[in-house]
Structure 1
């Protein structure tokens, strides 16, 4: 019997396998233990490393594109240079024109004949009249005389219970560091100017309004400190105020009587110069200037301070000596025997109640 052939052995065909794609770099799981890398991830760069990294990105001379000789002489490049040169020249011309016009106005003001007779001692009505537009008139003068930085520095020194007399329209208000002031009393004899100062305080320090008091009175009259300042104010400020009072010595002595014995009196004033030729012009034009602006700009500030008896801690002069920076200290015992204002006689609520805004005594109108 014939044998049947054996069936062929079947082999299982395995499906083609493809290599498993590798994970993207940003999805690969680190092989190291997470705890080992944790300190590296949480480490913040040191300031030195930050500085070195920033310095490494600085531009270098090699990065600057240098024009070829043909490109620098091209019409397009020359036109661009002309356009860039026009702006600096325009700015310089505008400044020169402004200073020239101001110089002409100043010379005219100082050389014109004064025709003023029998001026009254009280010129406060000039400040009432100029209250609304006062800041705009003074801005140019103070900018040219660099007085803004001096106001800022002076006001930043105020601390504790603060009194500012002759506050005017409140030109010092934006520079108060209210966090270092317990209370601030703003005093002036001109109602319209004090009203402007009140609006300015609301605009700049609204959150501090509960501890600011507005007083309309003369700085020559006794000044009542607020509740909590029975020993007097810690800081008294006056800027451009001696020029507008008929009794400057009495005013300074009254400020001394209102100041704590360990307090300070800060003044920024304008008056006589170092130079006689300038003093002659100031003397000649002072009556007309006072009649128009309520300010006598020819007072001898040094002599006034000397007659007041206050102790001078620091004194500086600027702008040919016409701007006076004074830091004064009250004499010991000046508050003793001062009748007026015993803090305990009034209830605290009455002393804390802010008075309605009214006016001030003048500031100054410098150089017109």
Structure 2
């Protein structure tokens, strides 16, 4: 692994994912997690402060970027959360069918190489009636912003660990076999190509 990916990229992603506007989205969503929880793209553990320990029976965090695990463990300890970290990509979740009550996916669908395969895996490991909780930036509704997203994505993706600015989040969720139950969609504070965020929940269709 080159020095950029090992040291600079984790710090860049941690800073971007810790912006106040994004943290507010996490604070509104993560307390809804219940039971056995699987978090996709757990990264440096930005969601840990918002879990409700009394509501979470077990927490498993999945992320192929093993170099982020150290910071994630520190944040878990600070939040009083026990977590099992697994360093694999979400297209192949090492868990049995119907294993989790909640799957959490925040600001991660943008970087997963095959997001539909990953969503199919999330659906497989969710128990019947289980919830997918998501908060994801992606393709904006305005044509002028979309044009910038398409232009910027190739260069941004190379800098930001594969992050795609122009993914159709509702379309991907539907293609992965989920039906959205509730969703808030808005521009957060900041440059519009990066800040159109959809936050909500879905269940297997």
Q: Aligning the two structures, in what range does the TM-score lie when normalised by the shorter sequence?
A: 0.7 to 0.9
Match of 2:74 in 1: 199
Identify which of 276, 294, 303 aligns with 2:171: 303
Question: Are 2:133 and 1:263 equivalent residues in the alignment?
Answer: no
For 1:242, what is the secondary structure of its paired residue? coil
The total of aligned residue pairs comes to 196
Query: How is 1:214-293 mapped onto 2 (pairs within 5 angstroms)?
Result: 214-224=85-95, 231-293=98-160
Unaligned runs of 5+ in 2: none
Match of 1:188 in 2: 63
Distance 1:138 1:180, change over 3 A: closer
Q: TM-score, normalised by structure 1?
A: 0.50
Q: CA deviation at 1:138?
A: 4.1
Question: Are 2:15 and 1:136 equivalent residues in the alignment?
Answer: yes
Partner Cα distance (2:147, 2:51) in 1? 37
Q: Is the 8 A contact 1:132 1:196 kept in 2?
A: no
For 1:183, what is the secondary structure of its paired residue? strand
Distance 1:231 1:257, change over 3 A: closer
Unaligned runs of 5+ in 1: 1-123, 332-368
For 2:167, what is the secondary structure of its paired residue? coil
Q: Is the 8 A contact 2:13 2:160 kept in 1?
A: no
Moved over 3 A (4+): 124-129, 136-139
Q: TM-score, normalised by structure 2?
A: 0.87
Q: Is the 8 A contact 1:128 1:191 kept in 2?
A: no
Distance 1:135 1:246, change over 3 A: closer
Partner Cα distance (2:50, 2:105) in 1? 14
Partner Cα distance (1:137, 1:278) in 2? 20
Partner Cα distance (1:128, 1:190) in 2? 9
Identify which of 139, 163, 183 aligns with 1:315: 183
For 1:243, what is the secondary structure of its paired residue? coil
Match of 2:200 in 1: 326
Larger radius of gyration: 1
Q: Is the 8 A contact 1:249 1:307 kept in 2?
A: yes
Question: Are 2:84 and 1:213 equivalent residues in the alignment?
Answer: yes
Distance 1:302 1:133, change over 3 A: closer
Partner Cα distance (1:126, 1:297) in 2? 21
Specify which structure has the higher proportion of strand. 2
Partner Cα distance (2:28, 2:92) in 1? 28
